[in-house]
Amino acid sequence: MSKIVLGQNQYGKAEVRLVKITRDTKRHEIEDVTVTSQLRGDLDAVHTEGDNAHVVATDTQKNTVYAFARDGVGSIETFAMRLGQHFTGEFEWITGGRWEIEQYSWARIPVDGEGHDHSFVRSSDERRNTVVTIDGDRTWIVSGLSNMVVLKSTGSEFRGYPKDKYTTLQETSDRILATSVSARWRYLTTDVDFDKTFENVRAVMLEAFATTHSLALQQSLFQMGSAVLEAHPEIAEVKFSMPNKHHFLVDLEPFGLDNPGEVFFAADRPYGLIEATVEREDAPDAGRAWDSVPGFC
C-alpha cells in the first residue's frame, strides 16, 4: 500500500461580517463587507498529530479583521493585502493564504433633494468582491462583481441555430435580453487605484452591453470583456458567468388583445448559462490566482 500523506490545505475564519462607520465629520461614511481569511504554510503537525503549535486560531483571524478595520477599510483589495501581509509577516510558518472580501453597496437616503448625512438604503443585491492569494513572495489579485442585473428591451436577436425534432424555440429578430452578470478579472500588478478601476470597469461593461446589437448573449459577453481589456492594460483576463434571464411573450389572443412585444412572462428557471473567459493572447501565466475562485470556467 502506498504511503498516505497530507495534500494541499488551508484553514481560517469564513464570512466575518464587518460594518465600519467613519464619523470624523457630521457626514458619515459606511463600509459593509464580509471577509474570509484562510492561512497556508507549515501545518502538517496539526493534521497528522493534533499539534496546535502552528495554528493561528480562527478567532484570532476574526479579531484581526476587526482591529484592522479601526483604521478604515478602503479598497477591499488593499484591505485584503494588509491582512495577508500581516499574517505572513507575523508568523514565520505561515507562507501564504487566501483572503476573500465581498462588499455591499449603500446609497444615501435623499432628503430635500440631497443625500442624508447619516441615513442609508441598500441600493441593490449587486456586490463587489476580491480574492487575494499570497504564496511566498508572490501575490495575485482577482477582483470583480456579482448580481449586476442588466436588461435590453430591444437590440437583441436569436436566430440561425440548428434545429432538430426536440427544438420548439422560435427564432426572433427582436427580443428582450437580460442577465445577471458575475465577472472576475485578474490584475497584472498590485500597484492599482482599485476603487477607481472598479468603477471604470463596471461602467465599460455596462456601456458595451447597452451599445452592442446582440445576436447572442455570448457575443455581448465577448464585447464586454474586450472593452475592459482595451481600456485597462493592467488587467490580464476577465471571466464571466451570465445566466440568460428569459422573458417570454404572453399570448393575449384568448382575451381578444394583441401583444406587440409589450407584455412578457419573466421566467426564473430553467435558464441558459453562458460562461467564458476573455483574455489577452500574451497574458502571463495565472499561477495560483484562480485556484480558489470557484464557479468560473
Q: What does the pLDDT look like over 14-73, one tens digit per residue?
A: 999 999 999 999 999 999 999 999 999 999 999 999 999 999 999 999 999 999 999 999
- Annotated active-site residue 54? The verdict is no
Strand partners, 141: 132
Is residue 239 domain-resident?
yes
Give the whole-angstrom CA distance, residue 109 versus residue 117.
9
Q: What average pLDDT score do residues 103-108 get?
A: 96
Q: Which of 232, 239, 245, 246 is catalytic?
A: 246
Query: Is there a binding annotation on residue 59?
Result: yes
Q: State the total domains in the chain.
A: 2
Query: Is there a binding annotation on residue 244?
Result: yes
pTM exceeding the 0.85 threshold for the entire prediction: yes
| pLDDT on residue 69 | 98
Contact (CB, 8 A) for 116 and 27: no
Is residue 102 domain-resident?
yes
Residues 272, 142 within the same domain: yes
Query: Is there a binding annotation on residue 218?
Result: yes
Q: Which of 102, 135, 168 is the last residue of a domain?
A: 135
Residues 145, 271 within the same domain: yes
Is residue 52 domain-resident?
yes
168 confidence band (pLDDT: 50, 70, 90)? very high
Q: Which of 119, 135, 151 is the last residue of a domain?
A: 135
CA 233 from chain centre, in angstroms, equals 20
Is residue 297 domain-resident?
no
Is residue 296 domain-resident?
no
- Tell the residue number behind the cell numbers 477599510, with chain if given: 73
How much of the chain exceeds pLDDT 90, in percent?
97
Give the whole-angstrom CA distance, residue 163 versus residue 105.
44
Question: Nearest 5°: phi and psi at 258?
Answer: -90, 170
Nearest to 102, CA basis, from 143, 141, 136, 71: 143
Q: What average pLDDT score do residues 188-203 get?
A: 98
Instruction: Supply the range of the domain harboring residue 125.
Output: 1-135
Res. 136: pLDDT tops 90: yes
Q: What share of the chain is helix, strand, coil (3-state, %, to 5)?
A: 25, 40, 35
Residues 90, 216 within the same domain: no
| pLDDT on residue 145 | 98
Res. 297: pLDDT tops 80: no
Residues 63, 99 within the same domain: yes
Q: What does the pLDDT look like over 206-245, one tens digit per residue?
A: 999 999 999 999 999 999 999 999 999 999 999 999 999 9
Q: Which of 88, 105, 135 is the last residue of a domain?
A: 135
If you average pLDDT over every residue of the chain, what do you get?
97
Contact (CB, 8 A) for 272 and 244: yes
Residue 60 exposed, middle or buried by CB count within 10 Å (0-12, 13-18, 19+)? middle
Residues 131, 163 within the same domain: no
Give the whole-angstrom CA distance, residue 186 versus residue 197.
12
Give the whole-angstrom CA distance, residue 180 versus residue 184.
13
- Annotated active-site residue 246? The verdict is yes
198 confidence band (pLDDT: 50, 70, 90)? very high
Query: Is there a binding annotation on residue 58?
Result: yes
Residues 269, 143 within the same domain: yes
Give the whole-angstrom CA distance, residue 44 versus residue 38.
15
Q: Which of 58, 60, 95, 277 is catalytic?
A: 58
Residues 106, 157 within the same domain: no
- Annotated active-site residue 13? The verdict is yes
Residues 73, 162 within the same domain: no
Residues 15, 119 within the same domain: yes
Residues with Cβ < 8 Å from 216, sequence gap 6 or more?
Answer: 158
| pLDDT on residue 296 | 81
Residue 184 exposed, middle or buried by CB count within 10 Å (0-12, 13-18, 19+)? buried
Q: Name the E strands within the chain.
A: 11-22, 29-41, 94-111, 114-135, 138-152, 177-187, 235-243, 247-249, 264-266, 273-279
Residues 159, 277 within the same domain: yes
Cα torsion angle, 8, 11, 17, 18, sign: negative
Residues 48, 153 within the same domain: no
Q: Which of 13, 232, 239, 245 is catalytic?
A: 13
Is residue 116 domain-resident?
yes
Residues 120, 260 within the same domain: no
Is residue 109 domain-resident?
yes
Res. 204: pLDDT tops 90: yes
Distances in Å between the Cα of 155 and the Cα atoms of 3, 162, 180, 227 are: 61, 22, 18, 19
Q: What does the pLDDT look like over 237-272, one tens digit per residue?
A: 999 999 999 999 999 999 999 999 999 999 999 999
Is residue 295 domain-resident?
no
Res. 294: pLDDT tops 90: no
Res. 295: pLDDT tops 90: no
Check which CATH number belongs to the domain holding 258 and give it.
Answer: 3.10.270.10
